[in-house]
Structure 1
Amino acid sequence: MRRKEREITDTHQLQQILEECKVCRVAMQDKDGLYLVPLNFGYQYQDGKLTLYLHSSKEGRKISALSQNSSVCFEMDCSHKLVEGDVACAYSYEYQSIVGNGTAHIVDNKEEKKQALSILMRHMTEKAFEFTDSMADLVAVIKIEADSFSGKGHHL
């Protein structure tokens, strides 16, 4: 990271960013090139290990791309605020973000899939939901295990 003074390494601060962000952009590659898609997500963050859970249609470019190449990059950002200045060069922008790389897998195990959907819904709504087998069968669940990630923030 070029701007080391903006790096966030504190586990509690990283958890706060994960909690505040509601959209994760996932980049993948297929035979047609790079593909970037914004998705709602849920997560588990324990002992420095980050796992993201996303849901998707069972068909489409995203699922096809992940079946060809499971390597992904992801990004999420939040806490946006424009900081005004007297001249254009004095303007700035406050933010917090997490960027990382990982491996994506389609979750096949029904119990893991239902748990992942519950984690996602709890993150998005702060409510507990349970899923039946038939509900879980309607969607694909993507699990991204982060190989590496970093936090960054800029606050004036």
Structure 2
Amino acid sequence: MKADTYFDHEHINQVLDEMEVLVIGMHDGESIYQTPVHFGYEEIDGQYTFWFHGDDSHTTGRLLKADPHVGFELDGGQKFLLVPKPFHYSAEFKSVIGQGIITQVTDHQSMLHGLNVMTDHYIKNHPQFTDKMLGKVAVWRLDANKISARIHIPAGLKDMKPGQKLSGSETVYGDPNTTVDLDALASASVNADYSDVYADDKKKK
């Protein structure tokens, strides 16, 4: 298990509060069908419930009726960063993954509750939904039975002070005879010529 994986509610909620899209993976015969949805969530005594809406006559509704067991994921906060070691580039990100069972709710009270929870995730102090607003919308509840969060910060950056920038030279990981100019590496594009960035110290002598 990775050290930056969390199962406690505080870290999971922290990530979920920052996410904007829930991706659900459903069984479609021998393949997996994925769909992104807007969502809201509730955590009550450690039990996570996600709410989303759509049209039950489309693919999502058909597949969920056939098999309500799903996998899901949310991710965000991606940053591609320069780090001291080991390979000078790494990624910062946050994510939540899990599994659960989806149920379509049909009673108006549950539908209204789900729609309000979902809208609360994006807009605070919004007008509450009413029965007249339901129309033909379908509302689903995802009850998670497995869930975890990951908050990844590259190891080379964890000990850096806020605002601190990398500069100067660093020894290339695993090769004490080669150094990298961090200033040049930070400004180089992906397709740049790196001949002036990496230098074999043995050749210099």
TM-score (norm 1): 0.90
Amino acid at match of 1:125: I
1:7 CA displacement:
1.0
Match of 1:46 among 29, 33, 44: 44
Q: What are the within-5 Å matches in structure 2 for residues 1-156 of structure 1?
A: 2-3=1-2, 5-31=3-29, 33-85=31-83, 89-156=87-154
After TM superposition, give the deviation of residue 86 of structure 1 in Å.
Answer: 7.6
Q: Distance in 1 between matches of 2:63 and 2:91?
A: 34
| Partner deviation per Cα, 1:54-89 (whole Å, 9 max, x = no partner) | 111231000000000000000001222211258993
Separation in structure 2 between the aligned mates of residue 109 and residue 26 of structure 1, nearest angstrom = 23
1:137 Cα deviation from its structure 2 partner: 3.0
The list of structure 1 runs, each at least 4 consecutive aligned residues, that deviate by more than 4 angstroms after superposition, is 85-88
- Residues 136 and 32 (structure 1), Cα distance of their counterparts in 2 relative to 1, 3 Å cut: farther
Q: Across the two proteins, how many residue pairs are aligned to each other?
A: 154
Which of the pair is proportionally richer in strand? Answer: 1
Q: What amino acid sits opposite 2:35 in the alignment?
A: V
SS at match of 1:114: helix
The change in CA–CA distance for 1:32 and 1:8 in structure 2 (over 3 A counts) is closer
Does the CA-based 8 Å contact 2:25-2:71 persist in structure 1? yes
Identical counterparts, % of pairs: 27
1:9–1:147 CA distance, 2 compared to 1 (3 A): closer
Q: Which has the larger radius of gyration?
A: 2
| 1:128 Cα deviation after fit | 2.9
Answer with 102-111 or 82-91: which moved more: 82-91
Structure 2 stretches of 5 or more lacking a match? Answer: 155-205
8 Å Cα contact 1:81/1:95 also seen in 2: yes
**Greater mean alpha carbon deviation, residues 83-92 or residues 32-41:** 83-92
The CA RMSD measured in Å over matched residues stands at 1.8
Q: Is the 8 A contact 2:24 2:71 kept in 1?
A: yes
State the alpha-carbon separation in 1 of the partners of residues 41 and 90 from structure 2. Answer: 30
Larger mean Cα displacement after TM superposition, 119-128 or 79-88: 79-88
Aligned mates of 1:32, 1:54 — CA distance in 2: 25
Q: Which structure is higher in RCO with an 8 Å CA cutoff and minimum separation 6? A: 1
Q: Which runs of 5+ in 1 are unaligned?
A: none
Counterpart position of 2:177: none
Q: Distance in 2 between matches of 1:93 and 1:7?
A: 15
